[in-house]
Structure 1
Amino acid sequence: MQRFNQSGGVHILQKMDGCEWDDETGEVVGFHQYGYDGEDFISFDLKTETWIALKPQAVITKMKWDADKARMKFYQNYLTVIYPEWLKKYLASGRSFLLRTELPSVSLLQKTPSSPVSCHATGFYPHRASLVWRKDEEELHEEVDHGEILPNHDGTFQMSVDLDLSSVTPEDWTRYDCVFQLSGVKEDIITKLEKDRIRTNWVKPSDMTVLVTAAVVVLAVILIGAAGFIVYKKKKAIRPPSSPDNSAELSAQLNPET
């Protein structure tokens, strides 16, 4: 707080240390760093065995800690020996969960015939995956739009990549495919760009006209029926009831002998 000329208030000091281990190359990258009030403050550089001041206020701390060689060796041993041993032990214990892989379902989606075709992969795990469009087995970088990897509610992930087909003729569609690659899985999922594979909820204008016409007819029938029922009820309501005297007189006229 004195380094930042702070006399009071609530402040947060954070420490984060650990290591990353590449099981293919055997490379271990250790890290030990501090943050203050949500911003990086100072970090330890394993290669030079010195501290890096990430804020001007951290320079004094860097000079003090650089002079403490015993502290340096302590952190170096933890980051390069002890932490990797722990990591390998935990990985072996939870290998079935930590190294599990789940392949996705891949679909081709299109809103309208003039919209880009989206290659959508969902349900994969882990998130270390790639999804690309290819032409003649060469990855495309132009006319494609890569989406972010997003989490699903069940812990798996989803992603998509769009392909603009506005300048592609129907004859060239067979030259395109979508390729999904998942870390830890050798085989790729390849989806050819074919018309019958594209899913859409788009309705043709002619079909839409038929649907609208049918809806209008049904609505008209309902309105006519409702209007007829209302007229019937009104007529029934204003019709005068026959009295008992009128009924007797009418009966006598129809049956003179009684």
Structure 2
Amino acid sequence: MSEQQVDGQHAGEPHREGLAQRLNWLRAGVLGANDGIVSVAAVVVGVAGATGDIAPILTAGIAALVGGAISMALGEYVSVSSQRDSEHALIAKERRELAEMPEQELAELAGLYEAKGLKPETARQVALELTEHDVLAAHLSAELGIDQDDVVSPWHAALASAVAFTIGGLLPLLTILLLPAAIRIPITFVVVLVALAITGYVAAYIGGSPRGKATVRVVVGGALALIVTFAIGALLGTSGVV
């Protein structure tokens, strides 16, 4: 019998500390890569539709890559910071209530377990035992679904998002720059759509959602973005505007 089985845990189930931070890091990374692929590919394909010169494609691609990575990191940092601040405020509030009215909080905890189906006497006994073990953790878990040791880090999410965006964005940029002009655009389309299929599948796997539907949505959305930006670039190029 394995150690996990002795502890009453099954392999593959998320009985691990820091789970929220790991999932948040993975989520930000996958979404960042997906955004990097789509946004940078749309820019370089659009420019390539207007002109075959490498210089403007390179300039626009690097600008999209750097600007997008900074934007993604900043957005993720602000979003996760707001979440973290809210969680810290809730933890401080719960700690204060436990210090000021412990009996009422105990009754509230017992009531929560009773509402889940336990008998009143059993619910109170569970509440008492959990309170003796770690009163704050017991209330945070039952009332708010928060683990004070597992509050997500905005820096982790921001870094993962920026790095993933950069890696994702480099794929279409390097593809379109390194290929001959005659095949540059169609091969970039293929590479981008394959990469989007992979990120869509991985994102669905992490989130536990249907992988086929998620993959199709991402690929169709990416294809639409490429077609529209290429058409706009080609229109501007042939009209003499650029």
TM-score (norm 2): 0.25
Bigger proportion of residues as strand: 1
Larger RCO (CA under 8 A, 6+ residues apart): 2
- Higher normalized helix content (fraction of residues): 2
TM (normalized to structure 1)? 0.24
